[in-house]
Structure 1
Amino acid sequence: MPERADQLEFFARCASGFEDQLAAELTQIRCRRVRPLHGGVAFFGAYEDGLRACLHSRVATRVQLVLGRVSARNADALYDGVRALPWETLVAPGATIAMRATGQNSNLRNTQFTALKVKDAVCDRLAAERGARPDVDGSDPDFSVDILLHRDKATISLNLAGPVLHKRGYREPGVQTEAPLKETLAAGMLLAAGWDSMVADGMGFADPMCGSGTLAIEAALIATRAAPGLLRNRWGFTAYMPHDPAAWERLVAEAEAARVPAWESGVRILAGDMNEEAVAVARANAERAGVAELIEFYVDDAANLGTHLKRGRRLSGGLVACNPPYGHRLLSGEDLSQVYAALDSATAKLGGGWQLAIISPDEGVDTGLGRMPERSIACHNGPLDTSLRIYDLGKAAARLSIPSLSGSDSVVPVAEGASEQFAARFRKVAKERAKWARKAGVHSYRVYDADLPEYAFSVDVFRSAEDDGLLVRVEEHRAGSNVDADRANRRVFDGLAIVSAVLDVPRERVFCKRARQEKSRPAAEPVWVDVRESDFVFDMDIASQRECGLPLDMRPVRELLRAHAASKRFACLLAHGGAPSVYAAAGGAVSTVTVDPADPFLEQADHALYVNGFRGREHDLVCDDPLDWARREARAGRTYDLVFCDLSAFPSSRSHDLIADHMSVIQQIVRILSPEGKLVLTCHDRRFNLSDKAFGGHGLTAQDITADTIGHDFTRTPKIHRAFLIGHE
């Protein structure tokens, strides 16, 4: 602790992304040496400054008073350093305590152990000084100690706030709508969007999807200058011995006096929801917060916001803010377009002077609204990666009129201006590919493959075996480090909307494999569908964030296997969804064996053989490593006339090594080839190559058949795979 009482060190924590808003708050209440850091703001001042931050900050989640920094090079050093602090002058007699540790170093890796060592040090010190150890209450302590480990130092702080500051006191536990927004996050949204400045100009606020009413209530608290801590009755500083109750009472009285009556605020605040129960909950919350008089509640669809705005004082501008339902909260993904359509209707006629602020984890929100954000802040809403996006409603939303291949027209919202060029290009190539596919009798094919580098994704269509409709799979390519991630993301979602419109395929039948997967976002649920290829039916996980199981570029390779399979014993090394074995069986193979180390892939191959009519014992499935299996087959003297192996299909942890050491792999496989047998070897590494020189002395020949295995739909990417036909000399 510093010697001067006006030089105490504090740290106010907040949701990541809102450090600037918190810093502005602390500066406004006259804290000194305010410095935004990741996840919070450091500041200095007198003890009353810390209390003032607890009472007035709308964004902070907790306020910590730094008690000291001690060595944390190991557990003993941490214990000694903490015990040396004067806890008998800090912890009030009879107070319960609790410890919370974050961070780790090479010697202190477990936060629970770190907290336990600090607890032992505090209790031992108090026992020595007072003759009694304090009680520990992990759920609701009187005196809560925070420990932050960084390298070999530990910062020991008192949590002045006690319970997290988003618990304002106006919500009734257990009587809220699903997934309500935390109060501190809601306030951060409003301040980031400039609502505090709009209040001074007498503008309006509206949340047409209000749920529990958190955004509207926080907007009203800002408009009435109500300190957010006034409703709380539990704090973490009351058991701090130097605490001055008179100073706290004075601060509370000042805050009460500064509060503006609702009728003097000069603003209009509207909160609506189509759920009557949600509006009732929101109204009750507003009553407890003391701002119900200021908020105009209504029950209606969000699209009808304009009707309710017209019923009161005309507004020159303001803020529409909401936390709309989305895929991981309340709604499934296919309903999102309806949410965005409702928001578009709600805001379409507001015009200049109005802003729209949305918090959502949905990366397609810009496309859904047809707007480019003026500002975005990456943040978290609970466990989800989300972003706050702020739009200027004075700028018109972007819409494209797109004719589909079937002749119908649709209007599609897009975020990027260049998406009009993509729409023209995609429609042109989709029309050509559809004509080719009909003529060639191809059911599933590639339509687009990053023809425009800015729209870096591929588009594959599959013909459903169940209803004969189209299913679409879009695979995003990884963007370079010089490409703005937000812009690349908008182009992907613009592309999804345009692809759906051009192909006249409902959006829920368009699936996307992202180049990156957010850690906080659950993996996509499998969507197994039966699709047609040639005369066959295959099942595939069209929503897979890995390979879907039916690579379309390998279609000519599969046809080659059918053409060469008559009266042959066929072996497929790695299942490939069972498609190679099905084609070989259809080509007249006397037997097939499919080898894969993964049971799910073998089950998929078994299903493919069964539904396509190949159900005899001559079609074997073996769960084994393909190369180990080949070695055992060779030792047993069993040979095969036609073998297929895709080096790229091995798990990524092995495929690189196998590709680099491909001659060793080939030598293992050819040992199971009959004298006239052939190995069809493929690889999706564009650098992969084989030459006759490389085969010198091995008694083998290799024919490059890559050009013969590139279909018309892959002519733009002729190096998508390499293919070779290998046999004995």
Structure 2
Amino acid sequence: METYEFYARCASGFEALLATELKNLKAQRVRPLKGGVAFFGTVREAYRACLWSRVASRVLLVLARVDASDAEALYAGAKALDWTEHVGEGATIAVYAHGMNDNLRNTQFTAVKVKDAVCDALREARGARPDVRSKRPDVAIDVAVRGEKATISLDLSGEPLHRRGYRTDGVQTEAPLKETLAAGIVLAAGWERTARVCGTFIDPMCGSGTLVIEAAMIAADRAPGIMRDYWGFSGWALHDEDLWDALIDEADDRLAAGLESMPRLVGTDVDEKSVQIARENAKRAGLARYVDFRGGDAAQMGEILADGATGATDAPGLVAVNPPYGSRLSSEAQLPGVYAALAQGVSAVPDGWTLAVITPDATIDTALGLVPRETLGLYNGPLAADLRIYETAPSARIELKVVSLAGDERYVTVAEPTSDQFIARFRKVAKERTKWARKNGISCYRLYDADLPDFAVAVDLYETAGPSVVDAVEQACGKARRGVGENSTSIGGGASSAGERYVHISEYEAPPTVDAERAQRRFRDALAIVPTVLGLDPSHVFSKTRRRDKGGGQYRDARGRSHIVCTEESGYRFEVDLGGYLDTGIFLDHRKTRELVGSLAKGARFLNLFAYTGTASVHAAGGGAVSTVTVDLSQTYLSWAERNMRLNGFKGRNHTYVRADVLRWISEERASKRRYDLIFVDPPTFSNSKSMGKETWSVQRDHAELVIGVSRLLAQGGRAVFSCNLRSFKPDTEKLERYGVHLTDISAETIPEDFARNPKIHKCYLVERVAAGSGVSGD
């Protein structure tokens, strides 16, 4: 037989699995590539790949690589091929294109150009154009454009190979796994070896049963393509029907032998409708008598193992599961319960078993108390996910005792054994800090700030200030909250009571010397430990990570919904957003700085630059400022600032809000006669926003110009408070003094006690205008 070049496509992440399959099918010169595997072989190897590959999505016969620098070159290259060698007499065709370049930007246009070339070539050779059929053509032609070349191939599979024939469209569960993905999962987890020794297979969240059925097909040595009634080679001029029939007969014989010794295969689901769909799928696959689908919770795996059903053995088995996430959950709050049930079930699994989980959510490691022995990045539809494979031995499960501040004892599963150090340190610091806060009447404060280098997280506690948070804010504003949008919610449905506690945990970026995977596990462990120590419901814990987990984290809404509560500081109420993508709305390390602003504000005309959510404006107004001007570039922050002001009863003409680039606004304001007795300015450390009026902004490089401009807005005897969060910041005092600006470093006096172990958290200076240096204009 003649040898051809082929290319088998597969889901990203399964290239190595597919290469192994093709080698076992006697393919030659197998070469894994991104998104597929190239190989050579005869028609027999191509047919075997179509019939037997469990993870390939398509099998293509490569005809040629042609010039695709423009449409005419592509047409000429496609027409030059001898299509009579491949398109049988009377066969229908269809052309599918993907990929683009500068001159071929529309895949439909590309497909039409190649279709015209094929039809014109066959008309010249045979006197008649072939008919075009978009669905299930006799010959499917694939065009892949990459750079200035196009690879033209015949799609021998015709339709995606995941269409095994046992699922019925429209009657499946929501977001079922593709059959090829399910097969890849169980193959990657070693199911072929486990099945050979009759180990048990369990999917405790089986949905429509795809994982179980694919595992059964592997155990039965059943060709995944044996039920398909359509192939893209049916109208291929070189199709060998006798060879194909012989391969089908061989597959039938192998299936008959495989069904004689089947292992036990069980799928359970809490949804009876899903269980029924799974049973119908197994029936269509001809495997209903070999698989057991039943209603039940993932926590009941121990009962499955203990029931002594036919097919059970002492051989190690495999648990494979696709837990619900994203659209399959009506609420993100359900996820901890799902994981808890799975963890309970897995804890009953004997030594030697394997657990395979496909999920975008790496927090599952902590929930299970296991560290994966390997992970494989892949996609479940459009969703990036990982296949996480664990050893399930009870001895591998990490459970640590946690004593809450109230004295209650609980065991928490974690992924890192060193998390016991975090438990001890966090409990000690949290106990001291809550006592300090209670004594000083502080409602929002930092509990922990990377006290242990290996657990580089910040933990902030917010205590609510009163009932009906959203109603209070909206009533204070006299209008709907702007800048938050339809996705806003308040904790407790808008009726948080005074004294409720919430925690926000943020992650510091780990240095390159720290293993990224371990850093993530430690962060996720902290998310589980903190609420247990504090005695909080996990739904009251929100997080912000430097590296977004696929699909979002366990404790925050994956859709980025706002969670609004009101907290209190120095007798003032502030709106904070714990769940949104923006910061919470109050910089806790500036507590003393804001108090300083309030103490200086009596009778002052106050200006707040880079105002953020206006917390300093509230303190100034409360301290007796006769007027406040709040300036920020963000309308979201300005609206938030106005809500904070009104929430504390500060409204009217004396309080104005200006949306503007602060640097440009300062320049324009200097030309006016308006001057201010007290100014607070807290610029960003860095910005590349074009709206800032500069190509880039750097507080270290550009602060002198800013501070000089601010000083020119001070009334005689006026003062400004300048703050920044660049820890290495050094003011250019020489330049400032030349321009008549004197800075007094008051950083030490403005660091709150809960930030005392990190005195470089911010820099703060008192700015005063003095006589300018010799020869320098004073304005």
Q: TM-score, normalised by structure 1?
A: 0.95
Counterparts of 1:81 and 1:285, CA distance in 2: 45
Could you tell me which amino acid in structure 2 is paired with residue 347 of structure 1? V
Structure 2 residue identity aligned to 1:490: R
Equivalence for 1:177: 173
The separation in 2 between residues aligned to 1:96 and 1:518, in whole angstroms, is: 47
2:538 aligned to which of 507, 531, 542: 507
Shift of 1:713: 1.4
Residues 531-546 of structure 1 aligned to structure 2 (within 5 Å): 531-546=567-582
1:675 aligned to 2:716? Answer: yes
The 1:370–1:632 alpha-carbon spacing in structure 2 relative to 1, beyond 3 Å, is: same
Q: Verify the 8 A CA contact 1:458 1:475 in the aligned structure 2.
A: yes
Q: Kindly tell me: are residues 263 and 51 of structure 1, through their superposed partners in 2, closer, same or farther at Cα, counting changes over 3 Å?
A: closer
Shift in Å at residue 219 of structure 1?
Answer: 0.9
Most deviating of 482-491 and 464-473: 482-491
Match of 2:628 among 592, 596, 602: 592
Q: Which letter does structure 1 place at the counterpart of 2:758?
A: T
TM-fit CA distance, 1:170:
0.4
What pairs with 1:678-689 in structure 2 (closer than 5 Å)? Answer: 678-689=719-730
Letter in 1 for 2:324: P
Counterpart AA for 1:689: K
Worse overlay, 162-171 or 597-606: 597-606
Residue 23 of structure 1, aligned match among 19, 26, 29: 19
The amino acid of 1:343's aligned partner reads L
1:291 equivalent to 2:287? Answer yes
Report if the CA contact (8 A) 1:325-1:331 is conserved: no
Compute the displacement of 1:52 (Å): 0.9
Q: Could you tell me which residue of structure 1 aligns to residue 199 of structure 2?
A: 203
Deviations 1:77-114 (A, max 9, x none): 33322222222332234544443334444554554444
Deviation at 1:527, TM superposition (A): 1.8
Give distance in 2, aligned partners of 1:232 and 1:126. 30
Residue in 2 that maps onto 1:8: 4
1:432 aligns with 432
Q: Tell me which residue corresponds to 2:757.
A: 716
Distance 1:643 1:112 in 2: 61
Question: Which residue is 1:87 aligned to?
Answer: 83
2:462: which partner in 1? 462
Q: Distance in 1 between matches of 2:70 and 2:507?
A: 47
The one-letter code sitting in structure 1 at the alignment partner of 2:445 is Y
Whether 1:493 aligns to 2:524 is yes
Give the structure 1 partner of residue 601 of structure 2: 565
**Residue in structure 1 matched with residue 681 of structure 2 by the alignment:** 645
**1:259 counterpart = 2:259:** no
- Distance change (3 Å), C-alpha of 1:153 and 1:645: same
Distance, in Å, in 2 between the alignment partners of 1:81 and 1:416 is: 58
Q: Contact conserved, 2:361 with 2:551, CA < 8 A, in 1?
A: no
Distance 1:489 1:719, change over 3 A: same
Residue range with higher mean Cα deviation, 502-511 or 543-552: 543-552
| Partner residue in 2 for 1:690 | 731
- Shift in Å, 1:687: 2.8
Q: What is the distance in 1 between the residues matched to 2:111 and 2:550?
A: 27
Deviation sequence 1:421-452 (CA, Å, 0-9, x none):
11111111111211221222221111122222
Q: Distance in 1 between matches of 2:114 and 2:511?
A: 46
Quickly say closer, same or farther: Cα 1:691–1:46, change in 2 above 3 A: same
Once residues 135 and 640 of structure 2 are traced to their aligned partners in structure 1, the CA distance between those partners, rounded to angstroms, is: 50
CA contact (8 A) 1:426 1:448 kept: yes
- Residue 132 of structure 1 deviates from its aligned partner by 4.3
Q: Which residue of 2 aligns with 1:282?
A: 278
CA contact (8 A) 2:685 2:726 kept: no
Match among 99, 117, 121 for residue 117 of structure 2: 121
Q: Does 1:705 align with 2:741?
A: no
Cα distance in 2 between the residues matched to 1:596 and 1:11 = 56
Secondary structure of 1:335's aligned partner = helix
Partner residue of 2:697? 657
Cα deviation, 1:330-364, whole Å, max 9, x if unaligned, reads 25332222222222222223222311111111120
Assess if the C-alpha contact under 8 Å between 2:361 and 2:549 holds in 1: no
Instruction: Give 1:441's aligned residue.
Output: 441
Q: Distance in 2 between matches of 1:425 and 1:96?
A: 72
Q: Given the alignment, which residue of 55, 60, 75 partners 2:56?
A: 60
Structure 1, residues 532-559: CA drift from partner, whole Å, max 9, x if none?
2221221122123342221111222111
What corresponds to 2:162 in structure 1?
166
The answer to whether the 8 Å contact 2:7/2:59 transfers is yes
Q: Greater CA deviation, 187-196 or 392-401?
A: 392-401
Moved more, 146-155 or 54-63: 146-155
Distance 1:122 1:575, change over 3 A: farther
What secondary structure is seen at the aligned counterpart in 2 of 1:685?
coil
Offset of 1:570 from its aligned partner? 0.8
Contact 2:21–2:53 (8 Å) recurs in 1:
yes
Call closer, same or farther: CA 1:511–1:249 in 2, change over 3 Å. same
What SS is found at the alignment partner of 2:225?
helix
Distance 1:581 1:10 in 2: 69
Distance 1:688 1:93, change over 3 A: farther
State the one-letter code of the partner of 2:707. Answer: I
- Which string of whole-angstrom CA distances, capped at 9 and with x for unpartnered residues, describes residues 494-540 of structure 1? 01001111111111111111213368766522222222222122112
In structure 1, C-alpha distance between the alignment counterparts of 2:733 and 2:298, rounded to whole Å: 69
Corresponding residue number in structure 1 for 2:413: 413
Name the SS for the 1:557 alignment partner: helix
**In 1, are the aligned partners of 2:704 and 2:732 still within 8 Å (CA)?**
no
Q: Deviations over 1:304-348 (max 9, x none)?
A: 222233221442121111111124432533222222222222222
Report how many aligned residue pairs link the two structures.
Answer: 725
How far apart, in 1, do the equivalents of 2:2 and 2:452 lie? 61
Contact 1:571 1:644 in 2 (8 A): yes
- How far is 1:710 from its partner? 1.3
Structure 1 residues 721 and 127, CA, compared in 2 at 3 Å: closer, same or farther? farther
Deviates further, 380-389 or 708-717: 708-717
Instruction: Please tell me whether the aligned partners of residues 647 and 658 of structure 1 are also in contact (alpha carbons under 8 angstroms).
Output: no
Q: Secondary structure of 2:226's partner?
A: helix
| Alignment-mate amino acid for residue 610 of structure 1 | R
Change (3 A) 1:75 1:256: same
1:351·1:393 contact (CA, 8 Å) conserved in 2? Answer: yes
Alpha-carbon deviations, 1:677-701, whole Å to 9, x = none?
2222222222322143121321111
Q: Give the direction of change, closer, same or farther, for the CA distance of 1:193–1:658 in structure 2 (3 Å limit).
A: closer
**3-state SS, counterpart of residue 460 of structure 2:** strand
Q: 1:394 to 1:692 in 2, by over 3 A?
A: closer
Q: Which structure 1 segments of 5+ residues have no match?
A: none
Instruction: Sort the Cα spacing of 1:666 and 1:246 in 2 relative to 1 into closer, same or farther, 3 A.
Output: same
Gaps of 5+ in 2: 466-495, 553-557, 771-779
CA distance in 2, matches of 1:32, 1:459: 57
CA separation of 1:405/1:244 partners in 2, compared to 1, >3 Å: closer, same or farther? same
Instruction: Give the TM-score of the pair, scaled to structure 2.
Output: 0.89
Q: Percent identity?
A: 48
One-letter amino acid of the counterpart of residue 728, structure 2: R
C-alpha contact 1:375 1:391 (8 A) present in aligned 2: yes
Q: 2:300 aligns with which of 304, 308, 313?
A: 304
Give me the whole-angstrom Cα distance separating, in 2, the residues matched to 1:133 and 1:625. Answer: 65
Query: Cα gap change, 1:94/1:516 in structure 2, threshold over 3 Å: closer, same or farther?
Result: farther
RMSD: 2.1
1:326 partnered with 2:325 = yes
Map 1:516-535 → 2, pairs under 5 A? 516-517=547-548, 523-535=559-571
Change (3 A) 1:292 1:703: same
**How many angstroms apart in 2 are the aligned matches of 1:541 and 1:245?**
67
Q: Is the 8 A contact 2:611 2:682 kept in 1?
A: no
Q: 1:589 to 1:392 in 2, by over 3 A?
A: same
Per-residue deviation, 1:135: 4.7
CA deviation after TM superposition for structure 1 residue 403, in Å: 0.7
Deviation at 1:419, TM superposition (A): 0.8
